[in-house]
């Protein structure tokens, strides 16, 4: 028997392909129709139970009798309104009848502030139900039949998810302190720990339960900062695992919020032609480019619904997943950190137990491997979209990417590389990380997407590659002719699709000037750096550990590595890396640097960087607990393994100790290092201390006597010096490293170092701040270590400064009272 799905409001009904959003238009979240509303009340499209309401109140999901799950999503990008203009008239768990009022909304407000009002009405478990008899291309009244659903497998009455509630043997509650809740990275950490445990666990939150081994299931809970979780186990032995995950949740790093997406730029002109030729969007990666338009679209692999037998289709899916896994692992091995992180996230999704289980269930119901995989990921994408969290909704793009990769592996289709013209401005509905990675970024001038989000993984990659990118441009650029010259201004969020000759000439001149300046800076960056007054200033790079990162840093003029973070080897895994793996990773960086100095920081873990196999004691304030060298001394066996690996690297590296507070900590490490050196028959390498606490700055004279060099971690020094948490939403903006109090701590450090002739470096974010650089040099800093891309610009800046003017400026800054006064001074007095 069919199920009738009715129009939730009056409006014009059309096919999903008319929706200006790739995820909906390509039925990635499920089959259905679109309706453009003329009313302001969303009514139940069928009898059923309310199973999900988005936090932004813009979407609601029902479970109909028989198990069909129906999602109604009002408008496109309405999640960004944060609930503005919406009013709820129902609650999760309510039983409703067709026509009951669920949500009312301000139609005028949405028309002005949302990208589109067109509303998808979908069946999200389309592996079990098929849309038939859809009412397309016509006006419908509220309650008219939109489409019929036909079951393709056995129907069932599905109760609300309760997991294993009521049979838990051990459970513990914990409040999520992380400001962003359980998003992708924390969920991945929890999933990896859960997979390493030999017993079943469950996480309950917001009235639902999830298998913690499933990244998708965890994210779908929509857990936010301040929510309470219950971690439950079902046998006495699970107590240790429950405690381990509780500790992991307590220690989740409160990373700063991603940069807020730039607001959609309002058009001053009212001329419709102007709006057509200059569509505005959201800035995802800043920059400016001019070049030939390159419309980009890849045909989706054809999918047959019916399978050729359970064994055949299951084996085909397994082979395809193995092919994709191999390709992702190969990319990750040779990629920079940003690409590697995204490949790791895709690998985690590829083996997600919930995705695999759902796909296998569809195969057992007679579906093909391709249909089953696509339906499984579409259902999970719908669950992420329904959370109302924009960051989680954008992870649906990762699921779409993985869907495409596995489907191509199933059909043996090769993606190949698109032949880009030089300076190409790629124009597409949306773009996935794998598609961008496969393109030749050296020929890519910019990216303009009709859909997409500013915090998506492809946006992160674009910024990493230095490619300007604007997203959410709407449908206006769709008809741009291939090869036509366009201007992409990713500083204001504008794509000029039909520029005037004068505008085009000015844009080309702007790009040429910027390119010439950049090329000159890169060329000059290969030379040693001196102040205009002759003093030598070393410019090093902060690195995350890959050969690709190191090669790029050398190409940008890095004179060495001032900070190699080793925690990248220890994070996101179930066991610590052994000595051989560490030695191999450190040596590949040393090989790329050649004879250039390499400073490697020992494991800086704990506090804001927990690792699952090292459960730290419960801490009220992890930032003041076991961090850096304290963690290493608490678990000295980890330190000894790392020191042995470091001593094996050639040429000899410099070892940097994090979070030092006094010389006693240095003495303990020095004794262990001397013992290891004697056993290995090698000379002791240079040993340095990080100055990240006020205590270390005040004792810099004593610390300098015990080590060979000092390195200031300005981010932590500012945080501890000002007693403001970098992850605190209200305080983060007030933490400024040029605050006079922080500058005085830096001055104390350089004075102490000078007494013993020790060099002082700055490897924190302050070294990349053009306004802070003259102050640091004036205080006596002789080495700056920064992100590789900033090295040419930094060297050009340093070469224009004189030491006397920098010192005069720094002394004046030390006498001021606020960071604002210091910033004003630097702007007014050019050293």
- Cα–Cα dist 441/464, whole Å: 11
Strand order in the sheet with 86-88: 41-43, 101-105, 86-88
Distances (CA, A) of 535 to 521, 596, 805: 19, 20, 13
- Cα–Cα dist 618/49, whole Å: 41
Which residues is 288 bridged to in the sheet?
Answer: 489
Where do we find the tokens 């043997």? 169
Sheet strands (E) in 654-721: 654-657, 687-691, 709-712
For the four alpha carbons of 491, 492, 494 and 500, in that order, the dihedral sign comes to: negative
Cβ-count burial 545-576 (b if 16+ within 10 Å, e if not)? bbbebbebbbebbbbbbbbbbbbbbbebeeeb
Check 180, 457, 585, 739 and give the catalytic one: 457
3-class state of residue 415 by DSSP: coil
- Cα–Cα dist 454/259, whole Å: 9
* Helix 803-814 × helix 740-755 angle, to 10°: 120
List the alpha helices (DSSP H) in 233-309: 239-250, 272-277
Beta-carbon neighbour count of residue 39 at 10 Å? 16
* Residue 23 and residue 400 in contact, taking contact as beta carbons nearer than 8 Å: yes
Check 13, 561, 763, 806 and give the catalytic one: 763
- Cα–Cα dist 343/335, whole Å: 9
Q: Which residues, other chains included, contact 25 with Cβ-Cβ below 8 Å and sequence gap of 6+? A: 16, 17, 18, 19, 429
Catalytic residue at 728?
no
- Cα–Cα dist 426/443, whole Å: 10
Structure token digits, residue 275 = 């709006």
- Cα–Cα dist 797/521, whole Å: 10
Burial of 540 (0-12, 13-18, 19+ CB in 10 A): buried
Report which of 700, 695, 702 is spatially closest to residue 717, judged by C-alpha positions: 695
For the four alpha carbons of 463, 469, 473 and 478, in that order, the dihedral sign comes to: negative
DSSP one-letter string for 73-98: E-SBSGGGGTTTTEEE---TT-EE-T
Distances (CA, A) of 442 to 338, 423, 521, 547, 558: 17, 8, 18, 19, 21
Report which of 290, 288, 276, 278 is spatially closest to residue 489, judged by C-alpha positions: 288
* Residue 361 and residue 369 in contact, taking contact as beta carbons nearer than 8 Å: no
Cβ-count burial 721-756 (b if 16+ within 10 Å, e if not)? bbebbbbeeeebeebbbbbbebbbbbbbbbbbbeeb
Region label for 638, one of left (φ > 0), alpha (ψ between -120 and 50) or beta (otherwise): alpha
Which residues is 494 bridged to in the sheet?
Answer: 280, 489
Burial of 602 (0-12, 13-18, 19+ CB in 10 A): buried
Supply the Cα-derived Rg of the chain in whole angstroms: 29
* Residue 719 and residue 735 in contact, taking contact as beta carbons nearer than 8 Å: yes
* Residue 174 and residue 249 in contact, taking contact as beta carbons nearer than 8 Å: yes
The catalytic site residues sit at 457, 763
């Amino acid at each position: 028997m069919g199920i009738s799905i009715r129009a939730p409001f009056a409006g014009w009904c059309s096919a999903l392909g008319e929706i200006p959003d790739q995820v909906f238009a390509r039925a990635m979240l499920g089959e259905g129709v679109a309706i453009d509303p003329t009313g302001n009340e969303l009514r139940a499209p069928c009898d059923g139970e309310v199973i999900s309401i988005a936090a932004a109140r813009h979407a609601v999901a029902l479970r109909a009798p028989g198990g069909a799950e129906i999602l109604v999503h009002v408008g496109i990008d309405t999640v960004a309104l944060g609930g503005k203009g919406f009013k709820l008239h129902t609650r999760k768990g309510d039983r409703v009848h067709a026509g009951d009022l669920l949500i009312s909304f301000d139609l005028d407000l949405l028309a002005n502030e949302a990208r589109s009002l067109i509303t998808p009405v979908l069946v999200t478990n389309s592996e079990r139900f098929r849309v038939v008899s859809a009412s397309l291309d016509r006006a419908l009244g509220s309650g008219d039949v939109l489409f019929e659903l036909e079951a393709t497998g056995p129907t069932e009455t599905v109760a609300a998810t309760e997991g294993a509630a009521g049979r838990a043997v051990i459970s513990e509650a914990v409040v999520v302190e992380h400001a962003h809740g359980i998003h992708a990275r924390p969920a991945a950490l929890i999933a990896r720990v859960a997979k390493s445990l030999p017993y079943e666990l469950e996480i309950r939150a917001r009235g639902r339960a999830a298998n913690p081994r499933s990244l998708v299931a965890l994210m779908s809970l929509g857990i936010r900062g301040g929510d309470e979780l219950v971690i439950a186990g079902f046998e006495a032995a699970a107590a240790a695992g429950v405690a381990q995950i509780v500790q992991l949740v307590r220690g989740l790093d409160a990373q700063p919020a991603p940069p807020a997406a730039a607001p959609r730029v309002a058009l001053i002109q009212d001329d419709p032609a102007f709006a057509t030729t200059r569509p505005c969007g959201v800035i995802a990666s800043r920059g400016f480019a001019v070049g030939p338009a390159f419309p980009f679209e890849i045909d989706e692999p054809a999918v047959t619904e019916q399978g050729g037998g359970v064994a055949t289709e299951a084996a085909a899916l397994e082979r395809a997943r193995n092919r994709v896994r191999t390709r992702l692992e190969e990319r990750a091995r040779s990629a920079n950190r940003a690409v590697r992180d995204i490949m790791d996230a895709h690998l985690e999704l590829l083996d997600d137990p919930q995705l695999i289980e759902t796909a296998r269930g569809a195969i057992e119901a007679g579906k093909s491997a391709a249909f089953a995989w696509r339906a499984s990921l579409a259902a999970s994408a719908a669950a992420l979209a329904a959370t109302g969290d924009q960051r989680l909704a954008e992870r649906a793009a990762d699921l779409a990417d993985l869907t495409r990769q596995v489907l191509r592996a199933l059909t043996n289709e090769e993606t190949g590389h698109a032949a880009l013209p030089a300076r190409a401005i790629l124009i597409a509905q949306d773009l996935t990380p794998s598609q961008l990675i496969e393109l030749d970024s050296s020929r890519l001038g910019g990216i303009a997407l009709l859909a997409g989000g500013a915090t998506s993984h492809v946006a992160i990659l674009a910024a990493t590659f230095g490619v300007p990118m604007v997203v959410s441009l709407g449908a206006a650029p769709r008809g741009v002719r291939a090869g036509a010259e366009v201007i992409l201004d990713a500083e204001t969020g504008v794509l000029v699709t039909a520029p005037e000759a004068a505008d085009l000439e000015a844009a080309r001149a702007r790009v040429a000037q910027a390119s010439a300046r950049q090329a000159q800076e890169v060329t000059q960056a290969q030379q040693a750096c001196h102040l205009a007054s002759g003093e030598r200033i070393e410019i090093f790079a902060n690195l995350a550990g890959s050969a690709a990162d190191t090669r790029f840093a050398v190409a940008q003029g890095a004179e060495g590595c001032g900070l190699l973070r080793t925690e990248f080897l220890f994070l996101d895994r179930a066991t610590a890396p052994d000595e051989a793996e560490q030695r191999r990773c450190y040596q590949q960086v040393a090989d790329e640097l050649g004879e250039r100095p390499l400073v490697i920081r020992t494991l800086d873990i704990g506090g804001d960087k927990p690792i699952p196999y090292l459960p730290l004691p419960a801490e009220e304030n992890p930032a003041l607990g076991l961090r850096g060298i304290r963690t290493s001394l608490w678990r000295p066996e980890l330190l000894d393994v790392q020191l042995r690996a470091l001593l094996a690297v050639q040429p000899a590296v410099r070892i940097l100790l994090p979070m030092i507070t006094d010389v006693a900590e240095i003495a303990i490490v020095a004794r262990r290092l001397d013992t290891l050196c004697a056993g290995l028959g090698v000379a002791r390498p240079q040993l340095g201390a990080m100055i990240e606490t006020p205590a270390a700055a005040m004792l810099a004279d004593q610390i300098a006597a015990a080590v060979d060099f000092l390195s200031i971690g300005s981010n932590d020094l500012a945080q501890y010096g000002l007693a403001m948490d970098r992850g605190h939403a209200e305080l983060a903006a007030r933490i400024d490293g040029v605050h006079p109090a922080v500058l005085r701590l830096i001055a104390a450090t350089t004075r102490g170092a000078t007494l013993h002739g020790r060099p002082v470096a700055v490897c924190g974010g302050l070294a990349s701040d053009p306004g802070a650089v003259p102050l640091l040099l004036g205080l006596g800093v002789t080495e700056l270590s920064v992100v590789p891309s900033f090295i040419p610009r930094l060297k050009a800046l340093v070469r224009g400064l004189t030491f006397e003017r920098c010192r005069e400026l720094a002394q004046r800054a030390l006498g001021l009272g606020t960071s604002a006064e210091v910033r004003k001074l630097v702007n007014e007095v050019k050293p």
